[in-house]
Amino acid sequence: MIYIDNRQEKIEVTEELKSNINSIVEYALRQEKVESDYEISIIFVDNNSIKEINAEQRSIDSVTDVLSFPLIDYPEGKVYKDVYVGYDFDDSYFDDGNLVLGDIVLSLERAMEQSEEYGHSFLREAAYLTVHSILHLLGYDHMEEDEKKIMRKREEEILNQFNISR
């Protein structure tokens, strides 16, 4: 189950955007071997809201494009498909039979700004940020250069299936 919660009024959230986000999330999770029913919340906000959340949660007082809040812990350097395929999770990881993977907070305002800055479509930027966050929920990271290369490669592989390239 993918919950999309629009909490901003600056960027129109069309049915096309929601449909594309849903398709991309479902595809990414299948590719990453999430086989159980799942739950993910995607919250659309504006720059002011994401700045507040960033300050509160990360002590960084600035606007960012997307924040990911994974609910599963991963061993260092491992991702969901390395560790948890077929894993018998404790009931505390489930809500109504769905494995709760986490929450994504996406500033649509920042996504629009970045799409203009990078010279590609708003859909491409929103899709990229969504895939980026889904991979974070599944244990991917980009703090180390080798991790960053792996994560960037997966992002592009997933987006390429939707003909959403840079």
- CATH number of the CATH domain containing 139: 3.40.390.30
Q: How far apart are CA 5 and CA 30, in angstroms?
A: 23
Q: Evaluate whether 102 touches 69 at the Cβ level (below 8 Å).
A: yes
Q: What is the pLDDT of residue 165?
A: 58
The tokens of 146 are what? Answer: 């080798």
Residue 100 lies in a domain: yes
Over residues 83-133, the pLDDT tens digits come to 888 788 888 889 999 999 999 999 999 999 999 999 999 999 999 999 999
Q: What is the pLDDT of residue 9?
A: 95
- The domain in which residue 22 lies consists of 2-160
Q: How far apart are CA 115 and CA 117, in angstroms?
A: 5
Residue 151 lies in a domain: yes
Which pLDDT band holds residue 77 (cuts at 50, 70, 90)? confident
Residue 123 lies in a domain: yes
Residue 91 lies in a domain: yes
Which pLDDT band holds residue 75 (cuts at 50, 70, 90)? confident
pLDDT greater than 80 at residue 164: no
Domain count of the fold of the chain: 1
Which pLDDT band holds residue 135 (cuts at 50, 70, 90)? very high
Residue 122 lies in a domain: yes
Over residues 24-48, the pLDDT tens digits come to 999 999 999 998 899 999 999 999 9
Residue 166 lies in a domain: no
Residue 144 lies in a domain: yes
pLDDT greater than 90 at residue 140: yes
CA dihedral 58, 62, 68, 74 (to 10 degrees): -40
Residue 165 lies in a domain: no
Q: What is the pLDDT of residue 166?
A: 61
